[in-house]
Structure 1
Amino acid sequence: MRRSGRVSAAPVRLLADSLLLWAFLWGSAACFSTSFSMDADHVLLLAGCGALAVLYMAVFALPFRFGLPLLMAGTAAAAGLLWQVRDLVWAGWAAVQCAVVNAYAQVFPQIHTIVPIAELTQREWQLAFTVALLLMALIFGYLLGWALLFCRSLWRSTALALLALAPGLVIGLVPAHLPLMVLTGGWCALLLSSLVQQRDPARGGWVALASGGCAAVLLAALTLLLPPGSYQPPHWAAQTGTALTEGLRRLTTGLDLSGWSLFTGGHGLTAAGSSSHVDLDADVLTYDGHTVLRIETDYVGKLYLRGYSTAVYENNTWSPLPEEVYTGWLDENGSLVGEGGALDLNPLNLPAMAAGDSTYYAITVENLSAPGGCVYFPYQLLSRPDELRGALFQDDAALSRELLVRTHTFYFRPSALDLSQWAGLAGEADRAETNYAGQFVPSYYLQLPDGMAEGLQSHCQAALNNHMTSGPFSSQAEYELAAAQAVSDYLDALAEYDLTVSPPPDGSDYVLYFLNESHRGYCMHFASAGTLMLRAMGIPARYVSGFTANSKGGSTEVPDSAAHAWVEIYLTGYGWYPVEMTPGYGVEDDPQASATPEPSATPSAAPTASVPPTGAPTQTPDVRPSQAPQDQARPAAPALCLLWIPALLAALAAAVVLRRQLCRWLRRRRFDGPSPNESAKALYRYALALERRGAPPLARAKALAQQAAFSQEGVSRAECQALRRQVEQYALRFAATLSRPRRFLLKWLWALL
C-alpha cells in the first residue's frame, strides 16, 4: 500500500500528535473499562497507554525502512512481556468477557451471566483487568496511529474511538466522566487542527496544542458548573433511552443466545443456573459459592425456584419447543386460549388454581447474578399474566425477565404440592385445561428420539417391576406419581452421583450411556434419564432447571452451588408437578457436592410438600390477589414508532455522508485512471456538471476532452495532470462565489466538492 505521507518531524507537530494519540488511546481504554465497571489499575493503564503512544509515534514518524523494524521489535517485546504474565492475561481476558456478557445479560434475557473461576486476590484481579486492557490497546493503538498519524483522517480516528464507547452505549452504560472528557477534548483538538492542516500544515501542531488546552479548560469549567454526580438527564432522554433498549430487547425475542459460547482457551467460565438449551456434554466446573439470588418470604421450608423447562431432546441437548406450536393455545401474554378467548391463566398457574382457597404467600426474588434470561419463581405460582410486573410468561415453559428489572414479587400457594389439597378446576378454566392436557401435552411432551423407546424399555420395565408401589390406584394421577417415584428409586439404585463423570464415546447418546454403561452422573443426567424413561412409559414429562433454597422466613441468600435440575410430569386436571430424580440431594448438603455445569445442581427426591406450610401466611384470598407493589408501575416509555423519526433522520444523514465520500472516491479514481484520455474526459464531465450549477464554462477542459476523443495522438499524462490542477482550482473558486446554502447543496446534495 502506498504511504500517504510521513508524520512531520517538527518538534511541535510530534508533541501534538503524541498527545492526541495518547488522549484517544487512554480515553478509549478507560471509557471501555469504566462503562462495564472493570476494576483496572488506571495509573498503570495510563502509563502503558503513554508508552504505546510513544512507540506508535516513532513508528509512523520514521521512514518505512526504520518504522517497520521498530514496530516488529516493539511488538515482540510486548509479546514477551505478556508471556511472562500469561496467567494474568488469561484471567484478565476471562474477566473482561464476564463484565461485558453480564452487562448485556441484564438487558437481553437470552444471554446468561457467567463468572470466572480463577481464585485470585482483589489486587490480582485488578492487575488482570489492566493487562487485558493493555493487550487490547496494543492492537487498537496501531489502528489509531494509522488513522490519526498516517491517514490524517478526522473521521477514521473518531470512528475508531467510538468503537470503544459503542458496546456500553448500546445498552445505556455511560463511561466515567474523566476519560470521556479526555476523549472529547482530543476530538475537539483534532477537529480544529485538521481544519488548519489543510491550509497551513506548518501551523497544525500549534493549533492542536492550543485547541487541546482550550478544550481542557472549557471542559473543566463545564464540569465545575455541572458536576457529573448531580446531573440528571432530561425526562425525554431517559424515556427515549428506555424505549430504544426495550425495542432492541424485543427484537431479540425468540433468538437462541443461550447456546453461544466464548473462546476462553480452556480457562473456564460457567453460568450457574437455568438455561433454555442444555448440553449434557458440558464440562463440569466448580462454583465459588457467590450469591446469585436473594429471596424474602414468610414461608418456611424447602423451595424449588423454577427457571426454564425444556421439551425437545436431541443429540445430547435439551431445547425448548418452537414458538409456532403455541399458536392457538396461548396468546402473546402467555394466557391459555379458551372457547371465549384468553383466560388470563397460564398452564403454570393451574396447580395453584386447582388447590382452591388454601393459604398463599408472597415471595420477592432478587436476581443478583443468576443467568439473566428467566425469572426464578417457586411452585405453585398464583400470580397470573395480567398481575405480573417486570416479567412475562414465556409460553408454558418459563417466565422471561423484562428490561433492567432484577426484583420480582409473586404470590404462590405451596400447599398445592400436597395433592390432598387438590380441589380441581371449574368452568372455562377446567375446559381449557382439559383441552390443553388432552391435545397439546401428549403431542409435545411424549416425544422421544428415534430408537430411544427401545433402548429404554428394559429400564422402564425394571423400574416398574422392582420399585412400583402395588395398586390398586384410585386415579390416573396416583398411578403416574407412583411410576415417577419408581423411576426415581430405580435411578437411585442403578447409578451413583458423581461430578467427575467422563463423557460418552463420540456419537453415543449420553442418557443411554449413563443407564447402560457408566452408571455415574449428576443432576442433569439423572433428570434427563428420568424424563425420557417417564415418556417411554407414556407419562408426559419435561426437564426443568433452577435453584433450591431452604427458607427459614425473612431474607435468604441462594448461592450458585444450589443450582439444580429435576423433572416435571403432567397430571391431568392439575398441571405440571415436580419430581426429584437425583439420589441423596438435600438443601443442607455440602454445596460443592451439588455443583454442576449450566443448569447444574438438583433437588431431592420427589418434592412433595405434604406438610402444610408453617410460615406466617398472608391473608387468605377471596379474590385473585393483585401484584405486590415491589415492582411499581414504571413510567410508560414513548411509543417505539416515535423513534422512527430520529432513526430515519440519522439514516438519511449517514446516507448523504456516505454518498458524498463514495462520489469523491470514484471521482479521484477516474481522474487518476491508467488512461490519460479517459481521465481528461472525466475531468471535462466534472467541469460540465459544475457549469450546469452556474459555474462559467472551462474552455480548456472541453478542448482537451475533444482532443482525447478524436485526436490520434490523444492527451499526454502531463497535460492531463495540468488539467486536473486547473479543474480543482476552478471548482474551489466557483464554490467561493456561492452563498452558504448553495455551497451546502453543491457539497452534500450534488456531491461535487
Structure 2
Amino acid sequence: MTNLQQGLQIDKPVWKPASRNTLSVLLADVLLLLLGLFGVAQCFVTAFSLPADRLILTASIVLFAGMFIGIFSMKRFILPVLLLLAAVYCGTAYWLRTYFLQGFIITTNRIMSELGSHSRFIFPLYRVDLPRGDYEEACTIFLIFLLFFLSCFLSWAIRRRHSFWLSLAGTAPFLLVPLGFTIMPAWPSVLMLLAFWATLLLSRLSANSSFGRTAAAGKVSLLALPAVILSLLLLNVFVPQEDYVRPPSIESLRTELEAGIYQSPLLNPGSADSELGRTSLSRSGNLQYTGKTVLRVRNPQKTPIYLHAFSSSVYTGTSWEPLPDSAYEELEQALYFNPQNMAGQFFSLYAQPEEREALFMEVEIENIGANKKCIFAPYGLATRPEELSGGAFVNDSYIQSSSLFGSRNYSLQAWNVPGYSRSVSLESDAPFTVSEQAYRSFANTHYTQLPQEIKMKLRWLCEQVGIPNAQSATQSEVVNAVVEYVRSSGTYTLSPGTTPVGRDFVDYFLFENHKGYCVHFASSAVAMLRAQGIPARYAEGYAVTAADYGVDGWADIPDRRSHAWAEVYTPGLGWQPVEATPGVHLSAGQMNEPDNTLESTPSSEPESEAESEPEASSEPEHETENSSSLESEPYSSLPEVTEGSSFHTAAPVLLPIVIAGGCILLLLLRRAFLLWRRKKGFTAPDVNRRALYLYQYLTQLTDFGEPMDKRAEELALKAKFSPHRLSDDEIGYLQNVSDTAGRRAYEGLNALQKLLFKFWKCLI
C-alpha cells in the first residue's frame, strides 16, 4: 500500500526569468552593438569631414563594445564597475584636457562650417589653439571620449533593456541631422545604421516583452542580420544612390519648411543682409526697402565710412562664395599679425605721432534691425582679435558675433586710411614686409580667379575699350579705368529683373541688360579687375556718408543704405574699398536713394540674398605685384584673419559643467520615462497583466533586502498561467503590498542607497 501511494512528487511552481546569457543572445548583442557603433562613427566622420584616425577609432569601438557588453552581462556589481570606469574616464580627460578641449572645438567648427555651407543659418566658429598638424590627433581623442559614452548607452539599451526606441534615439541624430541639411554621409555607414535598426526591430518583435529575452530571440537576430544586410545591398544595386531623386512633393515640403525656419526670428534674428560670406546673384532681382533704421553709428570725427559685413572670394557666375578653409593653411606660419589689422601694423611702424592722433577714430555701433550675428566693422581696423569681446574673426572674410543671439552694441577702433597722404618705402627685410609680401602672394593667387569663359570675354572687352592690365600699368591706373568704365556701363535701378537661368551674372549685365544696382556694378568691377590681374573681392555692408552724422556724432542708417562694393588689395594697407556704383560718393554725402521705399511691410531681403550651394571656380591665375613702395590711394583697408574665431576663456570650466548638466538632465528624463512606464503598467486595463507588472516591481525590491510576499507570488503565478482573471480583492492586495514594500525598502536604506533606489533604479 505504501508503494502504491508513492509516486512522482512535483515541487511548487517557481517564477524563473528566461536566461539572458545564452550564447546566441550574447553574440547577437555584440554584432548589433558593433554595427550600430560603426554606423554612427562613420556617419559622423564622413558627413562633417572630421580629421580623425579611422584605425584608432575602429580599435576603440571594438574595445568599448567588448568591455560594456561584458559589464552589462554581469549579474552583480554593475554600478560599482561603471563608477570606477567613470573615475578613470574623468582622470584621463583631465590628463588629456588640452587635446580633449581642442578636439571638441575642431569638431564643433567642422560641424558648424558644414551646416552653414548647406544652409543660410549663421553658426559661430571658434579659434583653435593648436597647429594644424595636431588637428587629427586632437579630433581623434575627442571622438574616442564621445564613443565611450555612446558605447555605454547602446550597450545598456541593447543588452539590459533590449529597447529599439532607446537605441534609435541614441543613433538616429547622427544620420538625421546631416540629412536635414542635405548632407549625405558615406553610403556604407547609412546602410550600417539601417541594418542596425531593422535587425533590432525584428529581434525585439520576437522577444517576450514581459519576461525578457530568450535564446530564440537571439537566433532570430543572428538570422535577421545577414538577411537585412543582403536586402539593403540588393536595394543599393538595383536602386543606386546616385539615381535617387526626391519626389516633387517631398522637395516642395522641404523647401517650404526651410523657408519657414529661415524666416523665424528665433533662429534667424534680425533682418539678414546676406548669409555671411555668400551672395546669390541668380536671385538678385528687384528690391524694395522699408526706410526703417537698422543701425545707429557714432563717430565723433564724422568720417564717411563703409561698415563691412563680409567679403566673398570665389565667383561662380551665379554666386559669390567664400574660399575653403584649406586655402588658408599656407598663411598659418607666414604671418606674425592678423591680416585684418594690417593697416594698424603699418601705422604703428610708419605713421608719425601727430598723424596717428589725427587719423585714429573709435566707432560705436548699435544694431537695431540688421543681422545681429554680423559685426559691422570699418576699414583700417585697429582692434585686434584678442581685444574684441563677443566677436570672432572668420578667415579673411568678416567678423562674426560669438554670442548665441548675436551682438547689439559694440565699439571698434580704426584708422582713417584715406586721410593718410604720404608715400612710404617698406624695408625689404623687416618682419612686417616679409609677412605683407606673403599675404600679397596669397591675394594674387586666390583673388584673381574667374571662370575661364568670362575671364577671356572680359579681357577682350578691356582690350576693346582701352583698359590696361597689371603688367602694362600701375594698380591705380587699372582700378581707375575699370571703375570709370563700369560706372558708365549701365543704368542704376532697383528693378533690373533677374538674370536668366544659365546666364553668367556679370556677362548678362555688361553685355545685354545694362541695368542694375550696387550688386551688379560691384560684381562687374571685381570681375574686370581680376581679368586684368588685380586682386579684388566682392564686399557687402552699409555705407555711412559725412552728411548722415548729427551734431552729437550719431548717424541713423536705414535699410536702404545696405550696399555692395569692390575691394582691391593695396600693398601695406591691405584691402581697400573701391566704389563702382554710379551716383555714390561717400565723402560728398551722395548715395542713390531709392524711390520705392515701403512704409509698412518690412523687407528682410537686402541688396543681395544668401545662397547655400557653392560652385566650383576656375583654375587660379598667378600674377604678382612686387612693388616695395607704398603709395596711398583713396581706399580704406579691410580686416582679415587666418584662423577661426575666439573660444571663450571659460571653456575649461564651462565644458565640464555643461556635460554634468546634460548627464543630470538625461538621468531625470530617464527617471520620468521609467516612472511613466511603470504607472502605465500598474493601471493596465488587463488585470492579469497589471498583476505581472506589480510582481515584477516586488522582484526588483528584493535586490534591496525586501522579502517576497508568498501570497503575492502565488497571485502572480495565477495571473500568468491561469485562464481566470484575478478578482478586485486579489489585485487590490497586490497593489497594497507593492506600495507598502516600496516605502519600507526605501526607509531602510542609507543615503547613497536611497539615491540609487530613487534615481537609478527609479523604484519610488
Does the alignment pair 1:537 with 2:532?
yes
Q: How does 1:391-406 map to 2 (within 5 A)?
A: 391-401=391-401, 403=403, 404=407, 406=409
What's the counterpart of residue 639 of structure 1?
650
The SS at the match of 2:309 is: strand
Amino acid aligned to 1:310: S
CA distance in 1, matches of 2:415, 2:290: 30
Does the alignment pair 1:731 with 2:725?
no
Q: What are the Cα deviations for residues 193-239 of structure 1, in whole angstroms up to 9, with x where unaligned?
A: xxxxxxxxxxxxxxxxxxxxxxxxxxxxxxxxxxxxxxxxxxxxxxx
The SS at the match of 1:494 is: coil
Does the alignment pair 1:437 with 2:431?
no
CA distance in 1, matches of 2:385, 2:682: 66
CA distance in 2, matches of 1:589, 1:503: 27
- Would you say the 8 A contact 1:548–1:562 is kept in 2? yes
CA distance in 2, matches of 1:673, 1:389: 58
Q: What are the Cα deviations for residues 671-712 of structure 1, in whole angstroms up to 9, with x where unaligned?
A: 567977665544333222223423343222322333455x5x
What's the counterpart of residue 716 of structure 1?
724
The structural deviation recorded for 1:289 is 4.5
The structural deviation recorded for 1:507 is 3.8
The structural deviation recorded for 1:538 is 2.9
Normalising by the residue count of structure 2, what TM-score does the alignment of the two structures yield?
0.51
Rate the CA distance shift 1:108–1:368 in 2: closer, same or farther, 3 A: farther
What's the counterpart of residue 650 of structure 1?
661
Amino acid aligned to 1:363: M
Rate the CA distance shift 1:651–1:544 in 2: closer, same or farther, 3 A: closer
What's the counterpart of residue 6 of structure 1?
none
- Would you say the 8 A contact 2:340–2:381 is kept in 1? no
Q: How does 1:403-414 map to 2 (within 5 A)?
A: 403=403, 404=407, 406-414=409-417
The structural deviation recorded for 1:532 is 2.1
What's the counterpart of residue 307 of structure 2?
305
The structural deviation recorded for 1:348 is 4.7
What's the counterpart of residue 357 of structure 1?
351
Rate the CA distance shift 1:662–1:291 in 2: closer, same or farther, 3 A: closer
Amino acid aligned to 2:351: D
- Would you say the 8 A contact 2:526–2:566 is kept in 1? yes
574-583 or 400-409, larger mean C-alpha shift: 400-409
What's the counterpart of residue 114 of structure 1?
none
Does the alignment pair 1:694 with 2:673?
no
- Would you say the 8 A contact 1:348–1:396 is kept in 2? no
- Would you say the 8 A contact 1:352–1:380 is kept in 2? no
What's the counterpart of residue 321 of structure 1?
323
The SS at the match of 2:315 is: strand
The structural deviation recorded for 1:377 is 3.5
Q: How does 1:65-144 map to 2 (within 5 A)?
A: none
The SS at the match of 2:593 is: helix
CA distance in 2, matches of 1:645, 1:389: 23
The structural deviation recorded for 1:269 is 8.7
- Would you say the 8 A contact 1:274–1:598 is kept in 2? no
Q: What are the Cα deviations for residues 29-63 of structure 1, in whole angstroms up to 9, with x where unaligned?
A: xxxxxxxxxxxxxxxxxxxxxxxxxxxxxxxxxxx
Rate the CA distance shift 1:539–1:319 in 2: closer, same or farther, 3 A: same
- Would you say the 8 A contact 2:270–2:372 is kept in 1? no
What's the counterpart of residue 493 of structure 1?
488
Identity %: 25
What's the counterpart of residue 504 of structure 1?
499
509-518 or 647-656, larger mean C-alpha shift: 647-656
CA distance in 2, matches of 1:394, 1:416: 28
The structural deviation recorded for 1:412 is 0.6
- Would you say the 8 A contact 1:446–1:539 is kept in 2? yes
What's the counterpart of residue 276 of structure 1?
277
Rate the CA distance shift 1:297–1:697 in 2: closer, same or farther, 3 A: same
Amino acid aligned to 1:368: E
Instruction: Give RMSD over aligned pairs.
Output: 4.3
What's the counterpart of residue 561 of structure 2?
562
- Would you say the 8 A contact 2:312–2:320 is kept in 1? yes
The structural deviation recorded for 1:566 is 0.9
The SS at the match of 1:506 is: coil
The structural deviation recorded for 1:262 is 0.8
Amino acid aligned to 2:287: V
CA distance in 2, matches of 1:258, 1:532: 31
- Would you say the 8 A contact 1:671–1:724 is kept in 2? no
- Would you say the 8 A contact 2:459–2:531 is kept in 1? yes
The SS at the match of 2:664 is: helix
- Would you say the 8 A contact 1:415–1:421 is kept in 2? no
Amino acid aligned to 2:709: L
Structure 1 gaps of 5+ residues are 1-104, 111-256, 331-336, 602-607, 614-635
The SS at the match of 1:564 is: strand
Rate the CA distance shift 1:464–1:549 in 2: closer, same or farther, 3 A: farther
Normalising by the residue count of structure 1, what TM-score does the alignment of the two structures yield?
0.51
- Would you say the 8 A contact 1:326–1:395 is kept in 2? yes
CA distance in 2, matches of 1:352, 1:642: 34
CA distance in 1, matches of 2:345, 2:546: 20
Structure 2 gaps of 5+ residues are 1-119, 126-257, 598-602, 609-630, 637-646
CA distance in 2, matches of 1:558, 1:462: 41
The structural deviation recorded for 1:483 is 2.3
CA distance in 1, matches of 2:604, 2:585: 18
The structural deviation recorded for 1:543 is 0.4
The SS at the match of 1:327 is: helix
- Would you say the 8 A contact 1:364–1:407 is kept in 2? no
Q: How does 1:332-371 map to 2 (within 5 A)?
A: 337-338=333-334, 343-350=336-343, 353=346, 356-357=350-351, 359-360=355-356, 361-369=359-367, 370-371=370-371
Q: What are the Cα deviations for residues 177-207 of structure 1, in whole angstroms up to 9, with x where unaligned?
A: xxxxxxxxxxxxxxxxxxxxxxxxxxxxxxx
The structural deviation recorded for 1:287 is 3.6
Rate the CA distance shift 1:485–1:722 in 2: closer, same or farther, 3 A: farther
CA distance in 1, matches of 2:650, 2:270: 39
What's the counterpart of residue 592 of structure 1?
593
- Would you say the 8 A contact 2:276–2:398 is kept in 1? no
Amino acid aligned to 2:397: A
The SS at the match of 2:585 is: coil
Rate the CA distance shift 1:416–1:258 in 2: closer, same or farther, 3 A: farther
Amino acid aligned to 1:434: Q
Q: How does 1:142-541 map to 2 (within 5 A)?
A: 261-262=262-263, 270-271=271-272, 275-280=276-281, 281-282=283-284, 284-290=287-293, 292-298=295-301, 302-314=304-316, 316-330=318-332, 337-338=333-334, 343-350=336-343, 353=346, 356-357=350-351, 359-360=355-356, 361-369=359-367, 370-385=370-385, 391-401=391-401, 403=403, 404=407, 406-415=409-418, 418=421, 421-424=423-426, 426=428, 427-438=430-441, 440-448=442-450, 452-468=451-467, 479-541=474-536
CA distance in 1, matches of 2:390, 2:259: 21
Amino acid aligned to 1:445: Y
The structural deviation recorded for 1:455 is 3.3
CA distance in 1, matches of 2:738, 2:635: 89
Rate the CA distance shift 1:373–1:681 in 2: closer, same or farther, 3 A: closer
- Would you say the 8 A contact 1:381–1:412 is kept in 2? yes
Which structure has more relative contact order (CA 8 Å, sep 6+)? It is: 2
CA distance in 2, matches of 1:284, 1:291: 17
What's the counterpart of residue 664 of structure 1?
675
Number of equivalenced pairs: 448
CA distance in 2, matches of 1:582, 1:390: 33
CA distance in 2, matches of 1:389, 1:691: 58
The SS at the match of 1:577 is: strand
Rate the CA distance shift 1:285–1:609 in 2: closer, same or farther, 3 A: farther
Q: How does 1:601-612 map to 2 (within 5 A)?
A: none
CA distance in 2, matches of 1:304, 1:693: 72
CA distance in 2, matches of 1:680, 1:348: 75
Amino acid aligned to 2:711: R
The SS at the match of 1:368 is: strand
Rate the CA distance shift 1:593–1:706 in 2: closer, same or farther, 3 A: closer
The SS at the match of 1:567 is: strand
